[in-house]
Structure 1
Amino acid sequence: MLDDDDELGPLMKPMLEKYGMDLTLAFAPSQAFALLEEESFDAMLLDMMLPELDGMSVCRSIRSSGKPYADIPIVALTARADLTDRIVALEGGIDDFVAKPVEMRELVARIGAVVRRLREDAQDEVASQTAVSAEPAVLHLSPAQMSAVFGPFTVNLTELEMRILRCLQDAQGNTLSRAEILDRIGHHTQSDPAMVDTIIYRVRHKFREQGLKTDFIKTLRGQGYSIKAAQAS
């Protein structure tokens, strides 16, 4: 946890230990980077209002470092949680955020969620790299039937799920940010970009329930989503 408040971290540490989480404290960005070099962590709690270097700058440095810790899940702690701040945080590489004052059960839930997402993405990537197929599976969308087909798997879609998949498909493999996706599907500019994450999660879950082990929707951390092997029907 990187937070210059020398009272908050020590207060949170025993509380998180009750949930089986060990909290390592850093009170300055330089200290945090030194710890990241020395140890492996499941996630990072990052205060967005730091005197030495603001939280977004710390996040960008981590994501662009090229180091093994560049993909660490980051949960932002912020007293400013309006829509603009959330968009900037999500597109800048933050995985999730919790508003101060921190509600401990919400924090634990959000830490658990971002750690699970990272592990699932890693498992999907391994499965994708080891899968052997003479004919690469291709995504087919059927707006008339409101369904999607990938290989032997077929799932039904909601209208919003269909629009987002079609949007990614039309991008022809290029990565689209959450804001770009919302704009291309004609959604209100004030919509929470986290909605896109929810829709992508739902589509992935539907295919996994059918038995799909690989993931044709790719996540580029801090940038957005893309679809590989995409083809319009």
Structure 2
Amino acid sequence: MIEDDQRLAAMVATYLGQNGFDVQHCDTATAGLERLRGNEAHEFAVVLLDLMLPDADGLDVCRQIRAFPAPQNALPIVMLTAKGDPMDRVVGLELGADDYLPKPFEPRELLARLRAVLRRQQGIQASGERVLRFGRLEIDLDARMIRLDDKERSVTAYQFNLLAAMAERAGRVLSREQLMDMVKGEPLEAFDRSIDVHIGRLRAAIEDDPKQPKRIITVRGAGYVFAKAQDV
């Protein structure tokens, strides 16, 4: 947890500790990034990141984490912030955050969101080698890696699960509600367009031209479809 509010951090650590989590707290961006780069980085399951830190903008910290080498760059990030502007949420998601919780929040809601993020990270259970291939694109479900032209493409855990869900149903038009249900297990919030942000990030990762997508195609008024035939 990277949070400069000592009282909030202590409350969260106590509550999550009572529910099976071991919380490591840093009160500055510098300390948090050093901890995540350290030898124990592999032990972390999720990052709770405050948006307003004394020595850095939480959005910049999110950007730096996503620039880490694999597998640290795929560590789920839940942003905690006193700023409730929907645009802050969109920017956070665009930079690679997996979820966003405005302050003040109920500890039970934080716990539920953390559990949902971790379920998404676990994603599809491995059962033998499973690699989906679509022309130059490979989606390795077991290694949780995406390759285009044999080069790894970095996405968040949420975005990987979203892509995997679409690829396994290639050729089917999927609504936003269906996609949210597949990867999150929660109903779509009213006017919540966060799924579009994640689709945009996926297109940036796997499309030759994100503005003219050939792999993830928008079906106006219906949702999205992952193309079966690619690079033909």
* TM-score interval (norm. to shorter): 0.5 to 0.7
Rounded to whole Å, the distance in 2 between the matches of 1:77 and 1:223 is: 26
Rounded to whole Å, the distance in 1 between the matches of 2:64 and 2:75 is: 12
Alignment of 1:1-233 (within 5 A): 1-36=1-36, 37-39=38-40, 40-120=43-123, 123=126, 127-128=130-131, 129=140, 139-141=170-172, 191-196=191-196, 220=202, 227=216, 230-231=228-229
Cα 1:122–1:67 shift into 2, 3 Å: farther
The answer to which structure, 1 or 2, has the higher relative contact order (CA under 8 A, 6+ apart) is 1
Larger radius of gyration: 1
Taking structure 1 as the reference length, the TM-score comes to 0.59
Rounded to whole Å, the distance in 1 between the matches of 2:18 and 2:228 is: 45
> May I ask how many residue pairs the two structures share in their alignment?
168
CA displacement at 1:20 relative to structure 2: 0.9
Cα 1:74–1:161 shift into 2, 3 Å: closer
Contact 2:48 2:78 in 1 (8 A): yes
In the alignment, which residue of structure 1 is the partner of 2:164?
A: none
SS of aligned partner of 1:7: helix
CA displacement at 1:73 relative to structure 2: 0.4
Cα 1:229–1:222 shift into 2, 3 Å: closer
Cα 1:6–1:124 shift into 2, 3 Å: farther
Contact 1:71 1:221 in 2 (8 A): no
**4+ residue segments displaced more than 2 Å:** 121-131, 137-141, 190-197, 219-232
Taking structure 2 as the reference length, the TM-score comes to 0.60
Runs (5+) with no aligned partner, structure 1: 132-136, 142-147, 149-156, 165-189, 201-216
Letter in 1 for 2:228: A
